[in-house]
Structure 1
Amino acid sequence: MKTLINKTRLNKIILPTSTAGSLPKPSWLAQPEALWSPWKLQGDELIDGKYDALRVSLQEQQQAGIDIVSDGEQTRQHFVTTFIEHLNGVDFEQRKTVKIRDRYEASVPTVVGAVSRPTSVFVEDAKLLRQQTSQPIKWALPGPMTMIDTLYDDHYHSREKLAWEFAKILNQEAKELAAAGVDIIQFDEPAFNVFFDEVNDWGIACLERAIEGLSCETAVHICYGYGIKANTDWKKTLGTQWRQYEAVFPKLQKSTIDIISLECHNSHVPIELLELIRGKKVMVGAIDVATHIIEAPEDVAQTLREALKYVDADKLYPCTNCGMAPLPRHVARGKLNALSAGADIVRRELAINN
């Protein structure tokens, strides 16, 4: 029954808009325009503050006309480490410096024993979001490969072994999220744009283990990262064409994942690479998260028109390139409005042509 209900919610509108993940937190909850920003509240006040921020984030998405809404990741400090904090086998006091995604160094926790999930992580948060709206909701989880890339492993001594353990844990969480009424569970895998051999050898298989037996739709989000300096500097080294997707799309097209979420707007990704995943639903990033400039609706519409050359209209989901946590709130709101308005332009064009 849940599958039927979820599909009914998702099939109501053409070109349903959504965000890739995070939205800025209110300044009373955490330091604005920063990742890993420490909380400004404690104890019960922090719990209340997180849930108030979730409600505000939902309202801002609704006011902007976003169709598939999310929690804006308001209850977590970071898209990967907040999930890992709730697992056994990881020591956050014992930290090591590692290079994340072969790009920038960070101090990360250490895997010291067998990893396990003693209790659900985001399920109560998802239940709250489900209570607030009848719209389709999407929930983001870190993907197995991106999780292992955000840790120092002093137990398994094998990226693949640790990834398979995380895939099993993620599957447990995902099944509970689906039972709580989540319509789309998205796994964030920016590591898929870096470790191509591992992705094809075992990364996609690990992801399929994470989605095994789910009663909702599934997505994998693969982008070029938040609009932070380490990522924007890396992008400058990639040349005039960013063809990283080309290495993993063929195998992803054959996978059991339902939706592929990617970065398009203001990037150097050749749009024709979308042909490699024809037949899949695609969340097309039509909002640049690496600039404070708010797109004009026509800019969004043009990105979507280009994507429609390679993605059927009933499979195209306009989205943001990545999360918007580091952006000022007014900029993020403006970008959400632009996404919605741009999608509306193309919807009207499709209606006329049909």
Structure 2
Amino acid sequence: MQLPKLLPTTVVGSFPCVKGSGFFGLVDPYKHAVKFAVAEQLRAGVDIISDGQVRADMVQAFVSKLPGINGNTVIGPIGISEKPITVADTRYALTQTKYVKGILTGPCTLAYALKIETPSYRDREELVLDLASALHSEAKFLAATGAYMIQVDEPILSTGAMDIETAKEALKIIFRGIETPTCIHTCGRLNTVSSEWTRLPVDVIDFEYSVSPENLSDISRHDLRNKKIGCGCVKSSETQVESVEEIEKRVRFCVESFGAENILIDPDCGLRMLTPEVAFAKLANMCEAVKNVRAEL
């Protein structure tokens, strides 16, 4: 995988939702939110942006569009969405920069957010694989649209609740036949799953480091097999904006562990729950810190 530059900055995905107002706000209140999220990421200096994931939370954004699901309940076989779910917003972001990551909430995480009330599925593992097939359709749309990278968010994997082999099979289904670079993001402590997690069939493995610094040693002791590493160097769960100097220290530790040519720098997780001002400040300081470390190399 060819990175756009040394130590590129990116985001996990979500940004605070600032809806539009007036007539156009009535037509599509989230269109302004997408434009705002994209503009703020670029203003902060982020190299690989997202569309902001502003239209819904990470679960409802997908399950609300899939046949076989009513609310949070699986009522029948999972089908493919009648039309692309995220592509329109990703396409807009691509008009502003060619480095945009498409983002999918992973089938393991979706499965654990849903109740099964149908004989179509005996267990969540079966549900995961059908959800993966539905997400494969969206991944193909994102690849065809020109996304630089496609990321799957699987926070559930750090809990150990889902069998990693099932997650591996699901990723193979999602990315089957897709040549666009691939990524998995998992937040939380990875100590119990790090060995299997680092072998998942993706190009980039992305984890939180700021809140869970132990993850760095957990990940670095495994054979990463030419994978790129996304290191969360900004706390997305706190409103306090870290100083540039504090972020620089985290970035340097990551560089020492994996090599500058192998890593991307981003926040620990999405920024949706922060204020727009705090989210921007965190990204701006992160980008400034990376710029300073890059100059030292």
Find the residue that maps to 1:125 and give its secondary structure: helix
8 Å CA contact 1:223, 1:262 repeated in 2: yes
| Alignment TM-score, normalising by the size of structure 1 | 0.78
Alignment equivalent of 2:12, drawn from 11, 20, 36: 20
Distance 1:183 1:45 in 2: 29
How many equivalent residue pairs?
Answer: 292
Paired AA for residue 57 in structure 1: A
Kindly provide the CA deviation profile for residues 296-328 of structure 1, in whole angstroms up to 9, marking residues without a partner as x: 111111111111222121111000000111111
Distance 2:278 2:122 in 1: 43
Matched, 1:123 2:87: yes
Paired AA for residue 175 in structure 1: K
Matched, 1:326 2:273: yes
Distance 1:115 1:180 in 2: 24
Q: After alignment, is 157-166 or 253-262 more displaced? A: 253-262
Distance 1:165 1:41 in 2: 41
The 5-angstrom pairing of residues 226-265 of structure 1 reads 244-265=189-210
Alignment equivalent of 1:282, drawn from 209, 218, 229: 229
Find the residue that maps to 2:108 and give its secondary structure: helix
Kindly provide the CA deviation profile for residues 31-60 of structure 1, in whole angstroms up to 9, marking residues without a partner as x: xxxxxxxxx999x74553312221111111
Q: Cα distance, 1:268 vs. partner?
A: 4.4
| Alignment TM-score, normalising by the size of structure 2 | 0.92
Paired AA for residue 146 in structure 1: T
**Residue aligning to 1:148:** 111
Q: Cα distance, 1:277 vs. partner?
A: 5.3
Find the residue that maps to 1:246 and give its secondary structure: coil
Find the residue that maps to 1:16 and give its secondary structure: coil
Kindly provide the CA deviation profile for residues 122-181 of structure 1, in whole angstroms up to 9, marking residues without a partner as x: 122222222x22331012111010010111011213101000001111111101111001
Paired AA for residue 90 in structure 2: A
Distance 2:69 2:223 in 1: 36
The 5-angstrom pairing of residues 304-319 of structure 1 reads 304-319=251-266
State the superposition RMSD in angstroms. 1.9
Alignment equivalent of 1:168, drawn from 118, 127, 133: 133
8 Å CA contact 1:301, 1:343 repeated in 2: yes
Kindly provide the CA deviation profile for residues 206-246 of structure 1, in whole angstroms up to 9, marking residues without a partner as x: 1222122112111111003xxxxxxxxxxxxxxxxxxx413
**Residue aligning to 2:175:** 211
**Residue aligning to 2:246:** 299
Alignment equivalent of 2:36, drawn from 42, 51, 56: 56
Q: Cα distance, 1:80 vs. partner?
A: 1.5
Distance 2:198 2:113 in 1: 26
**Residue aligning to 1:82:** 61
Matched, 1:182 2:147: yes
Distance 1:202 1:184 in 2: 23
Distance 1:47 1:157 in 2: 42
* Identity %, equivalent residues: 27
Unpaired runs of 5+ in structure 2? none
